[in-house]
């Protein structure tokens, strides 16, 4: 068992649970435990979808400022790539990853949510990238994932001002996908994740690879990559099962083969 981040598995769903009271501040240890949990979730064939959850009160209120305050350029230039790659490990989980956001998702907490595929949040949640108010900028993906999600102009406005947005605005600008009552966030995320438990795991992984990789290349390169992934799925048992089931007008029984 890790001290602050653990992977819980049940019924085909993995829950990466942050637990560092009171605000789940993302210090170095939390970052490394998060990386380990993400790698384990990706490798575990019993997991078909992942939920990232910080508990009923808070998702994650950001990096541990006290830990960073005394760091100089030399120290942070060594640490910054590790910080970014820890969050990237979550983004690279080859399964649907759902952020279940309660309370605050600020700074590194918002960046962790951005590393997920789908974001559900409580109706009283607050999100934002307030790093500019500390004289720094987001350093774990905020300047890169946020503009890709909500557009560069709106991302710049949020990053430049450091202001928080409430759940309604977050949904309106596309920062979160669904807003639910505060007490129902985890259950809503789990219900969403259940959709993928009986799904075609290889096709889901390929779909995620196609979208994520395609965003970083030109259209022609992305289309060529999509074609390769598409064709490769015809070597899987699930593709045969899915199309056979369609022809036979029955529900497919995907096995991950």
| Residues acting as catalytic residues | 111, 131
Provide the token pair at 159: 């990053």
Match 């049940």 to its residue by tokens.
10
Provide the token pair at 199: 């799904």
Scanning 44-184, the segments in alpha helix (DSSP H) are: 65-68, 73-91, 108-114, 142-150, 152-161, 167-172
Q: Which residues, listed in sequence order, are joined to residue 165 by a DSSP beta bridge? A: 127
User: Rounded to an integer, what distance in angstroms lies between the CA atom of residue 120 and that of residue 107?
Assistant: 17
Match 């979160």 to its residue by tokens.
176
**Sign of the CA dihedral with 42 first, then 48, 52, and 55 last:** negative
- 241 — phi, psi (to 5°)? -65, -45
CB-CB contact of 137 with 131 (8 Å): yes
The beta-carbon contacts of 240-249 under 8 Å, at least 24 apart in sequence, are 242/200, 242/203
């Amino acid at each position: 068992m890790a001290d602050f981040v653990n992977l819980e598995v049940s019924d085909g769903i993995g829950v990466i649970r942050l637990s560092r009271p009171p605000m789940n501040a993302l210090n170095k240890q939390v970052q490394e435990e998060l990386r380990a949990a993400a790698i384990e979730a990706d490798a575990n064939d019993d997991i078909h979808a992942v939920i990232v959850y910080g508990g009923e009160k808070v998702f994650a209120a950001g990096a541990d400022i006290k830990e960073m305050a005394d760091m100089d350029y030399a120290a942070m230039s060594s640490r910054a790539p590790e910080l970014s790659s820890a969050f990237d490990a979550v983004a690279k989980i080859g399964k649907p990853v759902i952020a279940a956001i309660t309370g605050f998702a600020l700074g590194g907490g918002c960046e962790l949510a951005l590393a997920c595929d789908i974001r559900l949040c409580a109706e009283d949640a607050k999100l934002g990238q307030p790093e500019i108010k500390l004289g720094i900028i987001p350093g774990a993906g905020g300047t890169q994932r946020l503009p890709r999600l909500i557009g560069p102009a709106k991302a710049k406005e949020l990053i430049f001002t450091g202001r928080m947005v409430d759940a309604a605005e977050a949904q309106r600008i596309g920062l979160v996908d669904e807003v639910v009552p505060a007490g129902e966030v985890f259950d809503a995320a789990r219900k969403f994740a259940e959709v993928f438990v009986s799904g075609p795991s290889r096709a889901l992984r390929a779909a995620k690879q196609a979208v994520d990789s395609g965003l970083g290349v030109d259209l022609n390169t992305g289309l060529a990559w999509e074609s390769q992934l598409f064709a490769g799925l015809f070597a899987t048992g699930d593709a045969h099962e899915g199309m056979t089931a369609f022809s036979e007008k029955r529900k497919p029984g995907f096995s991950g083969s």
